[in-house]
Structure formats: C-alpha cells, structure tokens
Structure 1
Amino acid sequence: MPARIPEPRFIEPVLGVVFDLDGTLVVSRHDFGRMRHEVIRLAERYGVTPGRLSPEEPLHRILESARDELRSSETPTTVILRFEAEFHKLIDGIEMQALDRTTVRAGAPALLRGLHERGFRLGLLTRSSEPFTREALLRTHLDRYFPFTRTRSAPGPAKPSPEALLYLLSEMGVPIERALYVGDHLIDAECATRAGVRFYAVLPDPSESSTMSTDRFLAAGASAVAPDLTELARQLQI
C-alpha cells in the first residue's frame, strides 16, 4: 500500500504562510544541469581546481565550495567579488530563458485566493532572481497575492539560510510560532526547520522528474506532506 500522507499535527493558529516559487506555485522547467556545468566552468576559470566541484550539487553549494576554495588559496577579495557577480549574471541569464515555458501549478490560484480571503499574510521566499520572480508572478497572475517577497537578489542571506526566512517573517509581522513555510524541495525543509518554522511539503508536480517522496520530507522535518496544492488547501481548511 502507498505510504499514508500525514495530517498536520500543529494546532497553533497560523497567521502567515510563506511559499517557495519554482516547483511549488509555478512550473518553470529551469535548465539546472546547464546552470551547474557553466558555473563550474566559470569557477575553474577563476582558479578553482578542475574536477573539485560536482555538478551533482545544488547551485548554492557549488557557489559556497568555490568561494571557500578561492579564499583558502588567498585569492584577492576583489577577484572573489568579481566571480560572484559573474556567477549571478550567468544564472540570471539562463533563468530568464525559462519564462516562456513557465506555467502556474494546478491548484495555486484557488489556494492563494482562499488564503487571501481568510486574511492570511502571504509571503514568497525563493532562490530565483527578483526579475524572474516578478515576471513569473505577473505571467501567472499570482502577483496580487504577494505583498512580501524575498529573492536571491535581495541583500543579505538567501535561502536556505534560516535568516532569509526570519527576515521575511519580520517584514510580514508574523511570529515564528504562527508561521508556515510551504515548499517542494529539501532546501525548503532545511531553511524552515533551521529557522524553527513549521514546514509543509508539497510533492513535485507530476510533469517534473524528482526523487522527492513523503518519507524523505518527513525525515527532513516536514510536519505534513501533500501530494498537490488541492490537498494542501484541504489540510489548511481552505
């Protein structure tokens, strides 16, 4: 029998809900493989040892590893900053190419409309750039629901740093104990659990290849797992 998807265990009244974007509310089909390989080539041009970085790692880990090696080899700070600027420019360019194939995920409009009508404060925390996030929300007509957003373009920590989520919740005026973060990736679970915020997982859209499962999310600290946004709405009584 398939694993039973757990029901939420928390009874504290939720005031604010923060969502991930890619995979959770929209399906973007980013070419992450291309991003990782091109970033590794860029890092090696700046002096990272060839073969040291793995294309199997997520982008933020590749950046962290490249930055650490450059620092350990006493690369000048100005050079590291130039590398980071080129990194973001490269990723931003590839990311924007996905806009034409970005679609809203089934159930997202109804879920967000229901939360909005019931007075929940809604926020968006994403590793996408600010230009991509803004345009993706406009194209999918979800922009009206998000007065609070934090992207990787924002100054300061980015997801999965817990500080990124805590900064956003502070802007929203939502206490940690009354917050909920919703995402479709282990990075989202890591961010939420390290911040002390309850996390609800949504399994990836069937159109996307993924190894995520209910068991993996529960092991990562999820309080509940929904197969789709329609079931998430039911869990939230929307």
Structure 2
Amino acid sequence: MLFEAVIFDLDGTLIISKVDYGEMRRRVSRILIDAGVPGDLLTSSLRIWEIISAGEGVLRGEGMPDGEWMQLIERINQELNDVELAALETVMPAPHAEEALRRLKGMELLVGVATRSCRAYADKSLELTGLRGFVDALVARDDVEHPKPDPRHLLKAVEALGSSPDRVIYVGDTTTDFKTAIDAGINFVGYVGNEEWGRRLREAGCQLLIDDLRDVIKIVAGRGRPLGRGS
C-alpha cells in the first residue's frame, strides 16, 4: 500500500492541553435541559457528542423544528468554543510531534488535521506549538455540518488534501477517532498518549497502537505492521 497522506486528530494526539471537558459537559447539558431534555439522560459518563446526540434524539422526537435545533446547536458551539479558547494558554506539542510532522513532510507526504475542536482554537493551538506550517489541510468542528464521529468529517479532510480514503492513514487517541476511521473506510493508527484511552482503544478492537508519534514514519514507509481498514 502506497500512502500519500496522514491525517491527525488534534487534542491528545498532536497537542496536549487542559481543556475543561467537565465544564463543557455542564454547559451543554444545561442548554439541553433548559430546552426540555430530561437531565437523567445526560449522564457524566457520556462524551460531549453523545450528550448532544441524546439531546437531539429527544427534542427532534418531540417535534422541534430544524431551525430551532440549529439555533440550539449554535448556542452549544459557542459554549464549546469559549471553553476551548480559555485553554489556549495550556497548549503544548505532544512528545515528538514536531519531528514526526517534519519527517512526514520530508517524505513529501501530505499532512491533515481533523478535529472536533473549533477552528479558532485549532489554528491557534497549531500556531502556538509551531506545528501549523506542517499542516496542509485543517478541518475543524465548525467547518462541517456533521463533525466526528460522523465519517463525513474525516472524508472532507481527505478531499481537502486531494487524496482518497485508501491512500490515507488517520492517527487518533480515542474510540471516537477509531469509529470515525472505520466508518470512513480509512486506515487507523491508535496513539496511546493516555493509558486509559489506550485500554479503551484495545477493547474497541484497535489492532495497531503506537506510543511514539515517530512510529508513524515506519508505518508509512512500510516498516511497521501491515494495515487493514480500521487496523
């Protein structure tokens, strides 16, 4: 397999930050509860996108019009943006991220980022960490109508790079990233920057895990374990 592009998740993969996800959950849940979603459906064990999805299921099921739901999503996104942007001062590059990207570009590969973070946060994070110049295409949450885990988010990044799903590797650290890659028909490499997420990836069926971003170089060069869809 000849790869021509590598797409990365952002937080937890290329960068490390202290985004307050607990605060995100509280803000999103409050908006949805105020709109009529029963609070006991929005448990703390749910990820942000799962909370939004659960809320949409209830409100749409009760007949909320498209326009009203979109207004609610705009409010939710603004709250998410505010929490993310407040964390910019904590951003740092993940270990060996700069070297990995520099070497990929030296191999004349395309580099993309597909993230559920907002574009303002993603752009500034990459700039602050010195990684922005390596990235050929960035597709953030507010660049798409259907963000991850919807595969259309990742496929838009592939399109932005001018590539095709079978020529791309997606590197991410969560089961959301894994599911997105599988549904998009794209080769996946799990990055274990956090042992808990590494465990979750293994339990979800991810077969190819790395704990050093430089190992992506070996995989692209064909010196790592062969890839299959959702590897």
The TM-score normalised by the length of structure 2 is 0.90
Cα RMSD of the aligned pairs, angstroms, is 1.8
The aligned counterpart of 1:144 is: 133
Which secondary structure does the structure 2 equivalent of 1:81 belong to? Answer: helix
Matches within 5 A, 1:69-148: 69-148=58-137
Equivalent residue for 1:196, pick from 185, 197, 220:
185
Amino acid of the residue matched to residue 120 of structure 2?
Answer: P
1:222 equivalenced with 2:211 (yes/no): no
Partners of 1:195 and 1:219 lie apart in 2 by 20
1:181 equivalenced with 2:165 (yes/no): no
Q: Which moved more, 1:156-165 or 1:106-115?
A: 156-165
The aligned counterpart of 2:54 is: 65
Distance 1:219 1:50, change over 3 A: closer
Identity of matched residues, %: 26
Which secondary structure does the structure 2 equivalent of 1:34 belong to? Answer: helix
Amino acid of the residue matched to residue 189 of structure 1?
Answer: F
> CA shift at 1:234, angstroms?
4.1
Q: Which moved more, 1:185-194 or 1:65-74?
A: 65-74
For the Cα contact (< 8 Å) 1:193–1:221, is it kept in 2? Answer: no
Which secondary structure does the structure 1 equivalent of 2:143 belong to? Answer: coil
Distance 1:113 1:42, change over 3 A: same
1:212 equivalenced with 2:201 (yes/no): no
Which blocks of at least 5 consecutive residues in structure 2 are unaligned?
Answer: 224-231
Amino acid of the residue matched to residue 184 of structure 2?
Answer: A
- Higher helix fraction (1 or 2): 2
The aligned counterpart of 1:9 is: none
Structure scoring higher RCO (CA < 8 A, sep ≥ 6) equals 1
For the Cα contact (< 8 Å) 2:3–2:220, is it kept in 1? Answer: no
For the Cα contact (< 8 Å) 1:158–1:164, is it kept in 2? Answer: yes
Listed one character per residue, the Cα deviations across residues 18-38 of structure 1 (whole Å, up to 9, x for unaligned) are 000000000012111111122
Partners of 1:171 and 1:76 lie apart in 2 by 32
For the Cα contact (< 8 Å) 1:198–1:222, is it kept in 2? Answer: no
Amino acid of the residue matched to residue 72 of structure 1?
Answer: G
Partners of 2:36 and 2:116 lie apart in 1 by 26
Listed one character per residue, the Cα deviations across residues 128-174 of structure 1 (whole Å, up to 9, x for unaligned) are 00000010011001000112111001132211111111122122121
Which secondary structure does the structure 2 equivalent of 1:128 belong to? Answer: coil
Q: Which moved more, 1:120-129 or 1:79-88?
A: 79-88
For the Cα contact (< 8 Å) 2:144–2:153, is it kept in 1? Answer: no
Which blocks of at least 5 consecutive residues in structure 1 are unaligned?
Answer: 1-11
Which secondary structure does the structure 1 equivalent of 2:138 belong to? Answer: strand
> CA shift at 1:223, angstroms?
4.5
Q: Which moved more, 1:170-179 or 1:126-135?
A: 170-179
The aligned counterpart of 1:17 is: 6
The aligned counterpart of 2:229 is: none
Which secondary structure does the structure 2 equivalent of 1:213 belong to? Answer: helix
Listed one character per residue, the Cα deviations across residues 178-213 of structure 1 (whole Å, up to 9, x for unaligned) are 1100011111100001111110011025xxxx5222
Partners of 1:82 and 1:55 lie apart in 2 by 24
Equivalent residue for 2:16, pick from 22, 27, 32:
27
The aligned counterpart of 1:5 is: none
